């Protein structure tokens, strides 16, 4: 009899544990989407949700109610590694004309703040990219594009050096795609010491991310017109 | 050092105590609530379904709302008007035109419309405790009356909204016409002199009419550094319900139940032990990785343990 009961008990125990695990690991994929391939971004997304940011500002920065639109906020656009968002998160915005002030998050660790900032910038880039690629393509102004290039791009690129002949090699559509999503920056994130030393690539990635977060449709059209007109 | 009870007894709290006439004539509408499946250990629980964050608050989603309420074991709800009314916002329709159409609909709803919604809820064993309406300056007097009429047919005891002191003055004559109350819903904006955020502002609002009652938002009051337990001690006769949730003090963030500074257990036990007819409407704005229905289950379990 004992021999018969033992496997049954084991099965019951296993079923019970499985049920507990299922409850414990319950994850709202309908809202959060499937887990992301990049664990850093996955952690950032979960932190953004867990501390309630998504409740008002929206998981993908489509804000609800009276919350600030982070997708188009100038402050977010000027933020570099949390230098503006971080202090604001810690202090909140108690003085406001809105129904509810933005809460302060002074109890969060620096890592948690950094994760929230990471998600805000990532989601903003995704959203801005979608907006810019969905926008009607209009002919740009090459002169205005040159002015933009000189201000925002010339510290790393030059039309007669690394971008020499780019106007002949690519058509406007390809140039537009390269401006919005530079292929050279598509590298897998790594924490090996060698990769951590690659500060140049990291800086370039950050710079292009910042540009993407702030491009207007006109900026992109003008830039493409300038690059296309280059000899 | 005086305890809160001593403080109240000595009369030092008098400036915060409401005029006697208001207390005498306060409508005990909540007492008329019939206990249902979420009446637990002497406390009537319900839900503010705003916390099903993934579910757009439209009348098209009302069926799903009812299914979720049943799944969560809720027999009472604070129903936002958008679960009942049609939406007129659409591409090509200006906000002003949509607002006019909504007003027109409210003034002349389809025959027996509210009765049919009431039937849906009755069939599911769900009572509407309060009807949440975004009253604002754009409402005409006739529209205020229409909102109360609709709410009454739905079975609501009162209408609740997030308006301030100025609009409250305009609302004074309306609830008595319909035998209902107005629920003042506090937020936490202490910098706005018109807002219900401090105890003094709420007392000021309540003193305008005996038909005004508090829908005390525990989360917001905690964030505004209010004394929830003291408020209930002093003004429980004028509190119809509470939005029960957790948050940290000093304009802090929302938190899962038990992780913030809101004295949820104390408040629920006060309601239980004093047999106050105050409805506890669960609501959350904290983040969670779980589906909302599961999160509501956890919150409800926390409250059930508190009053067990």
pLDDT value of position B61: 97
Confidence of residue B298 (pLDDT cuts 50, 70, 90): very high
Domain of A52, CATH number, reads: 1.10.760.10
Q: Is A85:A76 a contact under the CB 8 Å cutoff? A: yes
d(CA B303, CA B261): 15
Residue-range definition of the domain harbouring residue A67: 35-133
Domain count across chain A:
2
Burial call B107-129: b when 16+ CB within 10 Å, e when fewer? eebeeeebeebbeebeebebbbb
- What is the distance in angstroms between the Cα of B94 and the nearest Cα belonging to chain A? 18
d(CA A223, CA A141): 8
d(CA B293, CA B282): 12
pLDDT value of position A202: 81
Burial of residue A207 (number of CB atoms within 10 Å: 0-12, 13-18, 19+): middle
pLDDT value of position B102: 98
- Whether B287 sits inside 8 A of A27 (CB atoms) is no
Contacts 24+ apart (CB under 8 A), B232-237: B232/B267, B232/B270, B232/B271, B232/B276, B232/B278, B233/B4, B233/B5, B233/B8, B233/B270, B234/B8, B234/B13, B234/B16, B234/B17, B235/B18, B235/B202, B235/B203, B235/B206, B236/B270, B236/B274, B236/B276, B236/B278, B237/B23, B237/B26
pLDDT value of position B105: 98
pLDDT value of position A25: 60
Q: Are residues A218 and A128 in the same domain?
A: no
Q: Are residues A100 and A157 in the same domain?
A: no
Q: Are residues A143 and A127 in the same domain?
A: no
Q: Going residue by residue through chain A, which has 231 residues, state the pLDDT in tens, using 9 for 90 and above.
A: 455 555 555 555 555 544 444 444 688 988 899 999 999 999 999 999 999 999 999 999 998 778 999 999 999 999 999 999 999 999 999 888 888 899 999 999 999 999 999 999 999 999 999 999 999 999 999 999 999 999 999 999 999 999 999 999 999 999 999 999 998 777 766 777 777 667 778 888 889 999 999 999 999 999 999 999 987
- Whether B287 sits inside 8 A of A54 (CB atoms) is yes
Query: Mean pLDDT, to the nearest integer, of B225-247?
Result: 98
- Whether A99 sits inside 8 A of B189 (CB atoms) is yes
pLDDT value of position B7: 36
Residue at which a domain ends, from A75, A100, A133 = A133
Q: Is B212:B184 a contact under the CB 8 Å cutoff? A: yes
Q: Are residues A143 and A129 in the same domain?
A: no
Q: Are residues A209 and A126 in the same domain?
A: no
Q: Does residue A8 lie in a domain region?
A: no
- Whether B189 sits inside 8 A of A46 (CB atoms) is no
Burial of residue B149 (number of CB atoms within 10 Å: 0-12, 13-18, 19+): middle
Q: Does residue A129 lie in a domain region?
A: yes
Q: Does residue A94 lie in a domain region?
A: yes
* Cβ-proximal residues to A228 (8 Å cutoff; 6+ apart), any chain: A142, A167, A171, A172, A175
- Whether A100 sits inside 8 A of B253 (CB atoms) is no
Q: Are residues A104 and A158 in the same domain?
A: no
Collapsing DSSP to helix, strand or coil, A71 comes out as coil
Q: Are residues A64 and A89 in the same domain?
A: yes
Query: Mean pLDDT, to the nearest integer, of B106-134?
Result: 97
Report pLDDT digits (tens) over B156-186: 999 999 999 999 999 999 999 999 999 999 9
- What is the distance in angstroms between the Cα of B151 and the nearest Cα belonging to chain A? 24
Q: Does residue A10 lie in a domain region?
A: no
Is the pLDDT at B30 greater than 90, yes or no? no
Q: Is A70:A59 a contact under the CB 8 Å cutoff? A: no
pLDDT value of position B158: 98
d(CA A115, CA B287): 15
Taking contacts as CB-CB distances below 8 angstroms, the residues of chain A near B187 are: 99-100
Q: Is B232:B240 a contact under the CB 8 Å cutoff? A: no
Collapsing DSSP to helix, strand or coil, A163 comes out as coil
Residue at which a domain ends, from A100, A133, A166 = A133
pLDDT value of position A12: 52
* Structural domains present in chain B: 43-307 (3.20.20.150)
Interface of A with B in 2-61 (CB under 8 A): 26-28, 30-32, 46, 48-56
Residue at which a domain ends, from A133, A158, A177 = A133
Q: Does residue A1 lie in a domain region?
A: no
Q: Does residue A164 lie in a domain region?
A: yes
pLDDT value of position A64: 78
Q: Are residues A77 and A115 in the same domain?
A: yes
Taking contacts as CB-CB distances below 8 angstroms, the residues of chain B near A54 are: 287
pLDDT value of position A201: 80
Residue A93: DSSP 8-state = B
Reported ipTM: the value is: 0.82
d(CA B150, CA B140): 15
Task: Report the largest interatomic distance among the alpha carbons of chain A, rounded to a whole angstrom.
Answer: 91
Q: Are residues A72 and A129 in the same domain?
A: yes
pLDDT value of position B19: 47
Query: Mean pLDDT, to the nearest integer, of B72-92?
Result: 97
- Whether B287 sits inside 8 A of A52 (CB atoms) is yes
Nearest to A52 among B195, B251, B253 (CB): B253
Q: Does residue A26 lie in a domain region?
A: no
d(CA A154, CA A163): 11
Q: Where are the beta strands (DSSP E) in chain A?
A: none
Closest residue on chain B to A52 (Cα): B287
- Whether B287 sits inside 8 A of A99 (CB atoms) is no
Three-state SS annotation for B45-90: EEECHHHCCCCCCCHHHHHHHHHHHHHCCCCEEEEEHHHCCCCCCC
- Whether A51 sits inside 8 A of B253 (CB atoms) is yes
Q: Are residues A201 and A219 in the same domain?
A: yes
Q: Are residues A179 and A113 in the same domain?
A: no
pLDDT value of position B239: 98
Q: Are residues A46 and A125 in the same domain?
A: yes
Q: Does residue A20 lie in a domain region?
A: no
Of A76, A35, A37, A36, the C-alpha closest to A53 is: A76
Nearest to A27 among B253, B289, B292 (CB): B289
Q: Is B127:B38 a contact under the CB 8 Å cutoff? A: no
Residue A62: DSSP 8-state = -
Closest residue on chain A to B50 (Cα): A55
Report pLDDT digits (tens) over B36-55: 899 999 999 999 998 898 89
């Amino acid at each position: 009899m004992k021999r018969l009961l033992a496997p049954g008990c084991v099965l019951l125990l296993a079923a019970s544990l499985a049920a507990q695990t299922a409850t414990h690991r319950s994850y709202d994929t309908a809202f959060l989407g499937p887990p992301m391939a990049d664990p850093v971004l996955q952690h950032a997304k979960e932190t953004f949700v867990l501390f309630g940011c998504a409740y008002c500002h929206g998981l993908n920065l489509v804000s609800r109610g009276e919350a600030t639109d982070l997708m188009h906020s100038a402050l977010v656009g000027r933020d570099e590694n949390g230098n503006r968002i971080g202090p604001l998160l810690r202090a909140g915005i108690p003085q406001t004309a809105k129904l509810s002030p933005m809460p302060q998050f002074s109890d969060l660790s620096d890592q948690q703040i950094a994760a929230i900032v990471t998600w805000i910038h990532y989601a903003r880039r995704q959203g801005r990219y979608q907006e810019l690629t969905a926008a009607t393509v209009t002919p740009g102004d090459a002169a205005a594009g040159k002015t933009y290039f000189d201000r925002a791009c010339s510290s790393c690129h030059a039309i007669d050096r690394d971008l020499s002949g780019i106007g002949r090699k690519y058509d406007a559509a390809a140039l537009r795609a390269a401006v919005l999503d530079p292929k050279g920056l598509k590298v897998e994130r790594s924490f090996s010491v060698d990769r951590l030393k690659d500060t140049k690539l990291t800086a370039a990635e950050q710079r292009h991310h910042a540009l993407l977060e702030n491009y207007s449709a006109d900026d992109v059209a003008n830039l493409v017109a300038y690059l296309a007109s280059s000899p | 050092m005086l305890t809160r009870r001593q403080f109240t007894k000595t009369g030092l709290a008098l400036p915060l105590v409401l005029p006697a006439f208001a207390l005498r004539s306060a409508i005990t509408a909540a007492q008329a609530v019939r206990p249902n499946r979420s009446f637990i250990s002497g406390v009537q629980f319900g839900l503010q379904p705003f916390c099903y964050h993934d579910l757009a608050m439209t009348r098209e989603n009302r069926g799903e709302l009812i299914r979720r309420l049943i799944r969560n074991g809720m027999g009472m709800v604070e129903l936002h008007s958008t679960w009942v009314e049609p939406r007129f916002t659409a591409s090509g329709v200006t906000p002003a035109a949509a607002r006019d159409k909504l007003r027109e609909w409210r003034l002349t709803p389809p025959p027996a419309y509210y009765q049919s919604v009431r039937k849906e809820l009755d069939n599911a064993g769900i009572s509407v405790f309060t009807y949440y309406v975004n009253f604002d300056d754009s409402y005409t007097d006739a529209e205020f009356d229409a909102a109360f009429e609709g709410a009454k047919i739905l079975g609501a005891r009162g209408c609740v909204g997030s308006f301030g002191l100025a609009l409250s003055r305009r609302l004074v004559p309306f609830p008595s016409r319909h035998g209902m109350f107005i629920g003042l819903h506090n937020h936490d904006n202490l910098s706005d002199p018109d807002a219900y955020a401090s105890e003094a502002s709420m007392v000021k609002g309540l003193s305008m009419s005996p038909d005004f009652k508090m829908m005390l938002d525990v989360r917001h009051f905690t964030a505004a550094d209010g004394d929830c337990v003291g408020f209930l001690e002093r003004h429980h006769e004028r509190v119809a319900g509470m939005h029960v949730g957790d948050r940290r003090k000093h304009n802090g963030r929302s938190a899962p139940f038990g992780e913030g500074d809101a004295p949820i257990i104390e408040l629920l036990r006060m309601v239980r032990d004093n047999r106050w007819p105050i409805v506890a409407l669960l609501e959350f704005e904290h983040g969670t990785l779980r589906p909302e229905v599961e999160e509501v289950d956890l919150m409800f379990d926390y409250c059930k343990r508190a009053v067990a």
